Chain A
Amino acid sequence: MGQTVNNFRPTEKGYYGPYGGAFIPEMLYANIENIRSQYQEIISDTAFQEEFHHLLKHYVGRPTPLYFARRLSEEFATNIYLKREDLCHTGAHKVNNTIGQILLAQRLKKKRIIAETGAGQHGVATATVCALMGLECIVYMGEHDIARQAPNVQRMKMLGAEVRPALSGSKTLKDATNEAIRDWINNPNDTHYIIGSVVGPHPYPDMVTQFQSIISEEIKWQLKEQTSKENPDYIIACVGGGSNAAGAFYHYLDNEEVKLILVEAAGEGINSGKSAATSVLGTQGVIHGSMTLLMQDEFGQILEPHSISAGLDYPGIGPLHAHLINTKRAQVFAVTDNEAINAAYHLTRKEGIIPALETAHALSILKDIKFKEDDIVVVNLSGRGDKDMNTYMANTPKK
């Protein structure tokens, strides 16, 4: 992991350009430092890598297919490949990271695991690895998200996790993250916090990126196998915090010929007041211990975002992505709630794949980019849509 990327690696203090770092109160310093000082050595260790890859293969079901979507390709007159992270055990890419972090937690001799979750995919992935390793698991989830992602709440409970509602603020992902951080301050010795995205203080953005980089590692050889080229022309991924995008981009970051496309949630429209389009609405600031782009008012109060998708309903973005956007290495599109619903139905009817609402945002921009006939376009299909059936049934496509 990591050998092929140079320009977009963080500095020793965790900076990607002006973004990143660790803006944390002293009460968290020892916890973070304990990880920062050891993570690279631990995850580079051969035995760790063997165990990690063994579990990814035999437990998660990797490699996930890189599927040539024939009917979609015909429609858009180009070559569209779907990286099927939805076929990972638990139904999304999130498990790549939780497998990595649970192995890290074991080596740090932690007995208690906490996590935050938005859509519940990271919560389920964390509860799953905790069941696998026999560790106590507490998942913080916004009260609002508990209501809209009920199937995932039930899965977490069946897996033995305790789901604690976050009752503050917008009662969504940002608030669940606040609560998880507070728990960690109160339990510094026995607890490991498995952050689910490429957000938070250094070294989390880098660590989660490394665990997710398996996605682009596989895309490279799979694409070569199928097309004899290892570089696509486009990689498209949705972004909330940005973990699936970071993983899908990672091995292509230094290769400028590969266009990187981030798709964020416009909610009801970028200027509707109900949006989560951080790259447009955000300005530089500190959220959850990281300097990045975030949605805030003129006095630095963090704004409550809106997206129909709980996984993208976040006012910030990982510092790597802020840097990719700032340097124009990545291009950003914003997709509304309605467009995402339409795209989800569209993929389902065209290819027989029900995507997660988050992923549906990425799919929606296929219609908005003018691809060439011989372009190779990879869309990271980050998760499956089972958890969103209630939303899909209540919101049939409208024009």
Chain B
Amino acid sequence: MNRLKELFHNKNNDILNIYFTAGFPELQDTEKIIKELDDVGVDLIELGMPYSDPLADGETIQRSSSKALKNGLQLDLLFQQIKNARKSTDIPIMLMGYYNQILQYGPEKFFDKCNESQIDGLIIPDVPMDYYANHLQEELERREIMMTFLITPETSDERIKQADTLSSAFLYVVSKSSITGGVNNVTSKQENYFNRLNQLNLKAPRLIGFGIHDRDTFIKASRNANGAIIGSAFIRMLEQEGIQGIKKFINDIRPIN
């Protein structure tokens, strides 16, 4: 069974998804970080494919992406790193990245490589839903690779339902209209948006991301969905403390049992 399917089958609350950029802080850190995140009980890893022009990302992920590229990370190496990591971990792993990388690599070759490295799902934020349905969906479903679409407070109900239908992994609930990396608290306006989602009878599990950065925001997000995604805050910690800081960081967010 696809690891993502299994995860959402077995667990429906407090799911912790950690995003980090592959090949960062050092080129060979990808496998070590995956291993450590698995050890401290993180439920799901969203592995960023570093990109030269990350349009929707704030300074933190821009910085980690450009460092990873300078370190020499590229897709062939990333697939190899994940393949190696898979020898000792069964944690669900998704790849997150901009479509141009996949397009240039060749979508079918890219998806085959995902299978080979046992990647469970993809998040491609700049692929339009209709383009996905016409060009990519069949290829992904054939290979049992799951997909996640994003919704924001500005997304119409009709469009949310479309994203829900197409999201075979989970629905990525962007907490507010912003790029990544904010550190605000969860506001009442956002709670209204989360409540609106609760009333739409959506089928896909929902994880909330953007601005989730500490225990308080994680708890508030988890209360309103099946869990949350932390990215930029984790990367800022890595910049300061490196891999040895992971255990404390995770424990502060969701106590390790």
Contact = CB atoms under 8 A, between A and B. Distances in A.
Contacts of B183: none
Contacts of B127: 23
Interface stretch (B33-41, B172-180, B197-205): B172-180
A350 interface: no
Interface stretch (A91-99, A299-307, A352-360): A299-307
Contacts of B66: 168-169
A296 B56 contact: no
Given A24-B126, A169-B52, A285 B177 contact: no
Contacts of B219: none
B91 interface: no
B154 A25 contact: no
A326 interface: no
A185 B178 contact: yes
A186 B174 CA distance: 12
A372 interface: no
B148 to A, nearest CB: 11
B103 A188 contact: no
Contacts of B55: 24-25, 178, 181-182, 288-289
B100 A300 contact: yes
A174 interface: yes
B46 to A, nearest CB: 15
Interface size band for A: 20 to 34
Contacts of A27: 56, 150, 152, 174, 177-179
A285 B100 contact: yes
A218 to B, nearest CB: 36
A145 B163 CA distance: 40
B125 A25 contact: yes
Interface in A173-220: 174, 178, 181-182, 185-186, 188-189
A178 to B, nearest CB: 6
A182 B58 CA distance: 8
A282 to B, nearest CB: 12
A26 B149 contact: yes
B105 A25 contact: no
B105 A300 contact: yes
Contacts of B47: none
A299 B104 contact: yes
A299 B97 CA distance: 12
Interface size band for B: 35 or more
A306 to B, nearest CB: 15
Contacts of A78: none
B85 interface: no
A30 interface: yes
B75 A299 contact: yes
B101 A299 contact: yes
B99 interface: yes
B100 A302 contact: yes
B53 A22 contact: no
A287 B149 CA distance: 20
A256 interface: no
B102 A300 contact: yes
B74 interface: yes
B168 interface: no
B69 to A, nearest CB: 7
A21 interface: yes
A255 interface: no
Given A186-B178, A286-B100, A287-B100, A299 B126 contact: no
B155 A285 contact: no
A23 B56 contact: no
Contact of A302 (B53, B74, B149, B154): B53
B62 interface: yes
A29 interface: yes
Contact of B151 (A22, A26, A168, A178): A26
A315 B98 CA distance: 17
Contacts of A284: 103
Given A25-B125, A27-B177, A289-B126, A301 B151 contact: no
A368 interface: no
A270 B102 CA distance: 26
A25 B98 CA distance: 9
Contacts of A26: 125, 149-152, 155, 163, 174
Nearest to B53: A302
B248 to A, nearest CB: 31
Contact of B179 (A174, A185, A283, A289): A185
B177 A188 contact: yes
Contacts of B101: 299-301
A168 B126 CA distance: 20
13 contacts: A21-B128, A24-B55, A26-B174, A27-B177, A28-B56, A168-B66, A169-B53, A182-B56, A185-B178, A188-B154, A285-B100, A299-B105, A302-B53
Interface of A: 13, 21-30, 168-169, 174, 178, 181-182, 185-186, 188-189, 283-289, 296, 298-302
Interface of B: 51-53, 55-56, 58, 62, 66, 69, 74-75, 98-105, 125-128, 130-131, 149-152, 154-155, 159, 163, 174, 177-179
